[in-house]
Chain A
Amino acid sequence: MSALVGTSKAHSAGRPIATSQIFFAMLRRDMRVARRELPFFLLRTTMQPLMLMVVFGYLLPKLGMMQGNYTTTLLPGVLALSIALSAVQSIALPMVAQFGFSREIEDRLLAPIPVRLVAAELVVAATLQGILAGLVVLPAGRLIMGPIPGLELANIFQVLAVTTIGAAAFSALGLFLGCAIQPQQIGLLFSTIVGPMIFFGCTYYPWAALSKVPVLKYAVLVNPLVYVAEGLRGALTPGVPHMDPLVVTGALVVLLAVFWTMGLRGFMRRAIG
């Protein structure tokens, strides 16, 4: 029988491997898996926003139970929601499974690359999936709800900027949650974190309208979804009252930094015993 693999002398010739090359190989892996699961990914991340738009943006206005121009407020909120949900889920659910029972992340943790870059790659992949969900939901919303009064696509750069930073912040949050949650607690993720975040995330109402309930107006500022929704409002439907884009950007950058720090700490703790 011939040698199974080379000979002892031939092992691992000292050719250096570029870290970026490994990083992109991992990104390619995530994109391959995402592409394979695309139908499920779209169902998982866009079903809820689409149903919201059908009921609040089409059905209720049609029944005369809601003003027609409510869709102007709703669209950026629902868009923000789908970006946030898909970014969080794209990373938190696999992390819970891969650290919890399947252990399939170990192959990547044993790659010759600093372990923190494995975490960074996961955040980048989830960010891309968040952006993808936004790209699907925006035209779908227009189709479901009909013409949306005051919708402007002129600030497309601003839309992309808020979408990208927002998706990154939620991916980093997903990394933290995915490393902190045990598999048996996965239901809690939705009932205690995602649920309240959706309802108090200024998805269905602009932040300025909360002036009537001042306590809530300031309490919701801890919710990262508020900034994505308000940022998209400022960019897509500037006619609706919205937060200053600079405040939105600043808050999202700070949240991204905080979530990344927390997420990385959690990841390192799970990755290296």
Chain B
Amino acid sequence: MIETRALGKVYLGSGFARRRTPSGGVALPAGASPQWMSAAGAPRVSGPGAMAQTGGRMSPPRGMDIAALVALDLNIKEGEFFGLLGPNGAGKTTTIGILTTRVRATSGDAWVAGCHVSDNDVELRRRIGVVPQRPNPDRGLNVLENLVFHGAYFGLSTSEATRRAMDLLGKFDIADRVASSVDALSGGQQQRLMIARALLHEPQVLFLDEPTVGLDPQARLALWTILRQLHADGRTIVMTTHYMHEADELCDRLAIIDRGQLLACDTPEKLRAQAPGTTVVEIEVEGDAAAAAARCGAVPGVSSATVSGNSVRALSDRGGEAVPALIRAIEGAGARVTNMNLSSPSLETLFVSLTGRRLD
């Protein structure tokens, strides 16, 4: 349903540095990962040095070329709920932008629903629905008109568009706001209106760019229910998120991307299984925690054991199997176990091991 081959996007800088930078040049953040530079077809490093650090966030200095995407290969099947997971600035929105024809790739190719993103963009747009990162309803129109005019842009008659609109508004629980100004809707309602709009012309593929950012927990759960139902109906869905839990809950398959590169792509279960090590066993102890930790470190299958406050954190390569031995080790050190908690390998631990940093 969706295929990308060596997809790349370089945002050209402007002014002085742009003239000095050979075409295709790319600036790297200081200490960029070797993967970044060795990627197939990765552009040469050029431009004036490191990125500027402003307010704790990395941002490119003026005039610098930035590679948002480096040789991305994806293959998404029909009916799949596919997640693009990565921190802010990973290239998720750029990927969605290219696949929805709003951003021009600077290298590589991509096809969506049988249409090439640049050679057949008009037909491609007919086959997709897009839910933006931030709701962008037409503020000159009321709730119903937003949907009916959207339908008209896709060739639907007013009566057919109105019928579908009322149906969707009912299902998404905003039917009582039909004649409201869109500004009168809450954030969650606006987001549901955006999904209704994206579905009105019955697209083959639905793209959602961080759809739950800024929603309260209740609205987020309501949205998850809608997305699960759409998936159950057989629709192909591509969603970006930087919430691990959300990706884990909803997606059939996940691509973890960072700094414009694909780091891993598989089902959430298989990705979790790739997570290094390890089950984290956290044991609260009464007594000498340091001595207990020293003994825990010697237990077979435990790769490390550290002290934090009055608890010992052990990383077990054998899941819960190490627990009896850990308890014996702690008691052997003259301490007593008061509480214990196990957490299994997670996408979070995988992500940290792949990128060396946390998601958010």
Q: Are A and B subunits of one complex?
A: yes
Q: CB-CB < 8 A to B154: which residues of A?
A: 17, 22, 111-112
Cβ-based interface call for A219 (8 A):
no
User: Of A9, A25, A33, A114, which is within 8 A of B153 by CB?
Assistant: A25
A22 contacts B153, CB within 8 Å? yes
Residue of A nearest to B113 (CB): A12
Cβ-based interface call for A5 (8 A):
yes
Counting chain B CB atoms within 10 Å of each CB, the highest count among A21, A25, A36 belongs to: A25
Q: CB-CB < 8 A to A110: which residues of B?
A: 100-102, 125, 128, 130
Counting chain B CB atoms within 10 Å of each CB, the highest count among A6, A10, A11, A28 belongs to: A11
Separation of A111 and B78 alpha carbons in the complex (Å): 22
Q: Interface digits, A229-273 against B, CB 8 Å rule (1 contact, 0 not)?
A: 000000000000000000000000000000000000000000111
Least Cβ distance of A192 to chain B in Å? Answer: 22
A8 contacts B153, CB within 8 Å? no
Cβ-based interface call for B235 (8 A):
yes
Cβ-based interface call for A32 (8 A):
yes
A33 contacts B126, CB within 8 Å? no
Least Cβ distance of B93 to chain A in Å? Answer: 10
Q: CB-CB < 8 A to B11: which residues of A?
A: 273
A11 contacts B203, CB within 8 Å? yes
**A110-B125, A272-B102 as given contacts; A7 in contact with B233, CB under 8 Å:** yes
B202 contacts A11, CB within 8 Å? yes
Cβ-based interface call for B259 (8 A):
no
For chain B, the count of residues having a C-beta within 8 Å of the partner chain is 48
Separation of A4 and B227 alpha carbons in the complex (Å): 10
**A12-B127, A111-B125, A273-B104 as given contacts; A5 in contact with B137, CB under 8 Å:** no
Cβ-based interface call for A15 (8 A):
yes
B138 contacts A107, CB within 8 Å? yes
Cβ-based interface call for A108 (8 A):
yes
Q: Interface digits, B114-135 against A, CB 8 Å rule (1 contact, 0 not)?
A: 0000000011011110101010
Least Cβ distance of B286 to chain A in Å? Answer: 52
Cβ-based interface call for A44 (8 A):
no
Q: CB-CB < 8 A to A11: which residues of B?
A: 127, 202-204, 235
Q: Which A residues from 35 to 88 make CB contacts under 8 A with B?
A: 36-37
Least Cβ distance of A90 to chain B in Å? Answer: 12
B136 contacts A103, CB within 8 Å? yes
Residue of A nearest to B204 (CB): A11
Separation of A4 and B152 alpha carbons in the complex (Å): 20
Q: CB-CB < 8 A to B334: which residues of A?
A: none
Cβ-based interface call for A102 (8 A):
yes
User: Of B123, B197, B230, B236, which is within 8 A of A107 by CB?
Assistant: B197
Q: CB-CB < 8 A to B234: which residues of A?
A: 7-9
Cβ-based interface call for B201 (8 A):
yes
Least Cβ distance of B236 to chain A in Å? Answer: 8
Separation of A106 and B101 alpha carbons in the complex (Å): 11
Cβ-based interface call for B168 (8 A):
yes
Q: CB-CB < 8 A to B149: which residues of A?
A: 25, 28-29, 32
Q: CB-CB < 8 A to B101: which residues of A?
A: 110, 272
Cβ-based interface call for B318 (8 A):
no
Cβ-based interface call for B315 (8 A):
no
- Which of B27-35, B139-147, B246-254, B266-274 binds A? B139-147
Separation of A26 and B153 alpha carbons in the complex (Å): 7
Cβ-based interface call for B108 (8 A):
no
Counting chain B CB atoms within 10 Å of each CB, the highest count among A6, A10, A114, A271 belongs to: A6
B97 contacts A273, CB within 8 Å? yes
Separation of A272 and B201 alpha carbons in the complex (Å): 22
**A12-B202, A272-B104 as given contacts; A111 in contact with B153, CB under 8 Å:** yes
Q: CB-CB < 8 A to B136: which residues of A?
A: 102-104, 106-107
Residue of B nearest to A112 (CB): B126
Residue of A nearest to B138 (CB): A104
Cβ-based interface call for A3 (8 A):
yes
Q: CB-CB < 8 A to A4: which residues of B?
A: 168, 171, 199, 226, 229-230, 233
Q: CB-CB < 8 A to B168: which residues of A?
A: 4-5
Q: CB-CB < 8 A to B202: which residues of A?
A: 5-6, 10-12
28 A-B contacts, Cβ less than 8 Å apart?
A4-B168, A4-B171, A4-B199, A4-B230, A4-B233, A5-B168, A5-B202, A5-B235, A6-B233, A8-B78, A12-B126, A15-B155, A21-B152, A22-B153, A28-B149, A32-B149, A33-B141, A37-B140, A103-B132, A103-B134, A104-B139, A106-B102, A106-B130, A108-B153, A110-B100, A112-B123, A112-B154, A273-B104
List residues of chain A with CB under 8 Å of any chain B CB. Answer: 1, 3-12, 15, 17-18, 21-22, 25-26, 28-29, 32-33, 36-37, 102-104, 106-114, 271-273
Q: Assuming A5-B202, A21-B155, what are 12 further A-B pairs, CB within 8 angstroms?
A: A4-B171, A5-B168, A9-B234, A12-B201, A12-B204, A18-B155, A28-B149, A28-B152, A111-B125, A112-B153, A112-B155, A273-B103
Instruction: Identify the 9 closest CB pairs spanning chains A and B, nearest first.
Output: A8-B234, A17-B155, A25-B152, A33-B140, A111-B153, A112-B126, A103-B136, A273-B103, A3-B233
